Structure 1
Amino acid sequence: MKNKKQLPNSIEIEKTVIAILLLNNKILPEIFYIINKKYFFNMKNRFLYENIKKLYFKYKKIDLLSLIDYLNINNKIKFFGGEKYIYKIINKVVDISNINYYINILKKKYILRKLIKISTLTIKKAYKEDIKISSYLYNIEKKIYLLLKDNQNKNFFKLKDIIAKIQKKILKGKRTNKGLLSGFKDLDKVTNGWQKSDLIIIAARPGMGKTSFALSMILNILKEKKSILFYSLEMSSKQLVNKLLSYETNINFYKIKNLIFKDKELPIVHKKMEKIKKYSLYIDDSSSLSILNFKITTRRYLLKYNIKLIIIDYLQLINVSSNKNYKIINREQEISIISKNLKCIAKELKIPIIAISQLSRAVEVRGGDKRPILSDLRESGAIEQDADMVIFIYRANYYYQYNTNKKYETTELIISKHRNGMLKTIKIKFIKKIAKFIN
């Protein structure tokens, strides 16, 4: 009979890490933050680590004798078969400077064990033919997503290390905050591009051109050979591509959609279609999107396609109903959960997320100036708080219908919140014929 393969582990490195913890109290808080107790495969070592942690948080100081005394008082020493096991660990020759190297080995072994467990369960369930494939695949993705999160480094930084990185960039003459440019020059001057980890809200009333603005910007960025992930919860992928084709050909969207072309337009359409095919735009037009599903699919797209920007059209169509951990009281609470999660995902994945948002009817009912303000955001409290930037789209001509014969309409981009910069109103042009925004 063949011997059963043992799960990945390194008992000796586990003991080495414990020995270092007992020899150097100064590093304990940082190590406790980094190490998951499950990194220890051997149950004696795991139990020992847990008790070192408990003892430290109780007395803020720990050594071999205090640990043995603590274990004896609490009748836990018998778990190790006596004190001999602990003395053997402390007598190991260790190199404290290699602690991070040892932790990374334990982490790798732990991840491999988890992966083997997931794979084994996946194979076992796959033999059951009565399973629902879609939910089965979704559950596998969910487990892999959580495993990827486990593999991430904890965000613990020392001030001196951050300063050193900034100094290095300054010495190299690099601009440290250059983000992804939108292609709207005056907007980019104020924002310096969309910044990594930022949540940007672009909001307007229906008819102002929220999706058109997003697509106009997408086209600008795609021409710079950057990859974009677009969650379109309202329009189909075919409709979006037709709009992009309308922008590129300068042919009315209605004609593109219904394939009504003049003979002279056909070569232009074919040429532009070949051009668009080369763009790195990835569209997810699922009609229903939960926060958890968004987390899983986004991470998958990022790993596969090197995505530089995520756009969601629009925020109020995301739901949290598939996540049983959330007990929703009202719609405002649901939007609060969604906006907080979007900000967390942007930060976790270090990528800008642009979420298009609806405005409340307050804009329509108030007299005088129809320019949106922050309180007009639908279910506004949480969105306003979580966003790094809030930009309103405002076309005066939509309300007042003046200069209707002009080819262009002046549009205002009103930056009403900018966590790391100035507030400003920027003017761009709107081409009515094809519903496209330009500089």
Structure 2
Amino acid sequence: MIVVTFTSAIRYIFLRILMNELEEIKTSIKYKTVEISKAKKFVENLKLDYNKKSPRLSLINNAESLVEAIEKKNDEKARAILESIKGFFSVDHLTMAPISAEESFERLKDTPEPILFPILDMKIPRGLNVIIGSYPGVGKSTFIANIVMNFLLRKKFMIFFSLEMTASQVWIKLLQWYLASVKKINEAYDMLEYKIRSRQEGLYETALEFAKEFKPYLLIIEKEDLTATQMVSLIDNSYNFFGRKPDLWLIDYIQLIDNEPKQLDSHRLHVAEISKILTRKSKHDLLNGIIASQLNDKGNFSEAANIKNDCGWAIRLEREKDENGSYRSEITINLLKNRYGPIK
């Protein structure tokens, strides 16, 4: 599992915190100057990749303050921070079930990163689909690839119907995301431990590591002219690839799905038929599906309205344009539909 790896310095500090051994930290601090420096650098890097509302970020901030208080020999402040951190470890913030301090530490260390989009971090009940729409060029394919990468980090088995990008293009995007977001933290450790390798050698090894780690979890179908019925058949056959049923499927994007071989009067009816087939499959197999869609000129799902109605969630991606008419880098996520009430 690719997760943030704690250095010996971080393990030392957190385990002492968990065991309430502040005195041991203080008496040993003169021998731990280098480790404290590493710990501070670790916290700085880690903070960048946590959602601001995450309870773990509160813990990280407290740990950072504790290190600072110890360095400045501020016993009163250090003890106050320690009490605050002890409160965090008395209850699991995800389940509210009492757990041991040691187990809390292990969960913090081994839990994969969030998907980085708070809306999508909410658990969606199995058997429901999500539709994500945007204008052309806003970045829904990149957004979908980002979702794929984050689910790969969670070791979810996925079948990705990439009707626009080739499989090689998808893998390149995923590798770029991995290098930019996940590896940067681990590379910081390499620098601290003086294990820097040449950039070319490191990139090559990282690419091999990436392929070996994640390829068993992702089946990319790039075939054109697929119907929804054929997709359902491929989902069923993906058992031969995964050795089990997939956790979810993704489609980029719905307008490229071929019509079913039925005599229907309009494209809208064909899309309604596609929606019915995909919705039935997710409900029957208790799968989750993520469907990308183009928006019409008015910003609506247009012919994909049937799928929007059938999905549990509907999301619209938006990007503002600058004075030259080019899209800005920030993407706004608007939740248009949530079948399960407000997100807290």
TM range (shorter): 0.5 to 0.7
> Which of 166, 173, 177 does residue 236 from structure 1 map onto?
166
Structure 1 residues 402 and 423: alpha-carbon distance in aligned structure 2, compared to 1, 3 A threshold: farther
2:115 counterpart letter in structure 1: G
Q: Which whole-Å CA distance do the structure 2 matches of 1:403 and 1:292 have between them?
A: 36
Counterpart AA for 2:258? N
Q: 2:123 is matched with which residue: 167, 187, 193?
A: 193
Query: How far off its partner does 1:290 sit?
Result: 1.1
User: Which residue matches 1:23?
Assistant: none
Paired position in structure 2 for 1:214:
144
> C-alpha separation between the residues in 2 aligned to 1:403 and 1:284?
29
Q: Does 1:276 align with 2:213?
A: no
TM-score, normalised by the number of residues in structure 2: 0.57
TM-score with structure 1 length normalisation? 0.45
Distance 1:380 1:238, change over 3 A: closer
CA distance in 2 between counterparts of 1:291 and 1:301 reads: 15
Is 1:316 aligned to residue 255 of structure 2? yes
233-242 or 272-281: which moved more? Answer: 272-281
Alignment partners' CA distance in 2, 1:398 and 1:342: 38
User: Deviation of residue 187 (structure 1)?
Assistant: 1.7
Q: Which has the higher contact order (CA 8 A, sep 6+)?
A: 2
Aligned to 1:246: 176
Alignment RMSD (CA, Å): 3.0
Q: 1:195 to 1:269 in 2, by over 3 A?
A: farther
Is 1:412–2:332 an aligned residue pair?
Answer: yes
Counterpart of 2:92?
none
CA contact (8 A) 1:204 1:210 kept: yes
Amino acid aligned to 1:217 = I
Of the two, which has the highest radius of gyration? 1
For 1:413, what is the secondary structure of its paired residue?
A: strand
Q: How far 1:403 moved relative to its partner?
A: 10
* CA–CA distance in structure 2, aligned partners of residues 199 and 312 of structure 1: 11
Aligned counterpart, 1:288 = 225
Equivalenced residue count is: 216
Mapping of residues 389-428 of structure 1, within 5 Å: 389-397=313-321, 409-422=329-342
The 8 Å contact of residues 339 and 382 in structure 1, kept in 2 or not, is answered as yes
Query: Are 1:341 and 2:271 an aligned pair?
Result: no
Cα drift, residue 218 of structure 1: 1.1
CA distance in 2, matches of 1:184, 1:248: 14
Three-state SS of the structure 1 residue aligned to 2:133 is strand
Q: Give the residue type in structure 1 aligned to 2:119.
A: L
Please state whether the residue corresponding to 1:396 is helix, strand or coil. Answer: coil
Distance 1:338 1:309, change over 3 A: same
Q: Which residue of 2 aligns with 1:350?
A: 286
Displacement of 1:315: 0.9
Tell me the distance in 2 between the aligned counterparts of 1:181 and 1:339: 32
What stretches of structure 1 move > 3 A for 4+ residues in a row? 397-404
In the other structure, the counterpart of 1:205 is 135
Give identity over the alignment, percent. Answer: 22
Q: Deviations over 1:335-387 (max 9, x none)?
A: 11111211111101110011111111224xxxxxxxxxxxx113143122212
Deviation sequence 1:80-109 (CA, Å, 0-9, x none): xxxxxxxxxxxxxxxxxxxxxxxxxxxxxx
Post-superposition shift, 1:188? 4.2
Report the secondary structure of 2:296's partner residue.
coil
| Structure 2: gaps (5+ residues) | 1-94, 99-111, 182-196
Aligned equivalents of 2:249 and 2:327: distance in 1?
Answer: 36
In the TM superposition, 1:11-30 aligns within 5 A as none
| Counterpart Cα distance in 1 of 2:178 and 2:129 | 29
